Amino acid sequence: MLIPLRPHPATLRKLVEEYEGLLADDGGRDASGGGPRARDLAYTLCVLTGTRDVSAALEAAHRHLAAAGPRPEPVTGAAGTLRTATAPEPVTVAQAGVG
């Protein structure tokens, strides 16, 4: 029995956004025939979604992302670091009792 991959939504979102950005730059044509990065993204999207066609991969990715819910809102943590709302705050050396 094959168990389908379940890519992390943030990873999948990044790949989709980059591929669609290349697609827009290429005038809306299928970017998989473009440069090496576009071909790599198309291949990775197909592997992660269990498809063999980049159009089907994008449709599957969008369904997966819709089911995953909205993107977490970024928040600024200690020392101005950009963190997601679900990430824990970093611990300083003083808080850890080191030193």
pLDDT digits (tens, 9 = 90+) for 33-91: 678 999 999 999 999 999 999 999 999 999 999 998 877 666 666 666 655 555 555 55
Q: What is the pLDDT of residue 48?
A: 93
State how far the alpha carbon of 85 is from the alpha carbons of 72, 88, 89, in Å: 6, 8, 10
Structure tokens at 73: 């809102």
- How many CB atoms are located within 10 Å of the residue 86 CB? 8
Domain boundaries, the chain: 9-68
Q: What is the pLDDT of residue 40?
A: 95
Average pLDDT rounded to a whole number, residues 14-41: 82
Q: What is the pLDDT of residue 68?
A: 87
CA 59 to chain centre: 15
pLDDT at 32 over 80: no
> Whole-angstrom Cα distance, residue 56 to residue 35?
20
Q: What is the pTM of this model?
A: 0.64
Contact residues for 77 (Cβ-Cβ < 8 A; gap 6+) = 83, 87, 89, 90
Containing 75, the helix (H) or strand (E) segment is strand 74-76
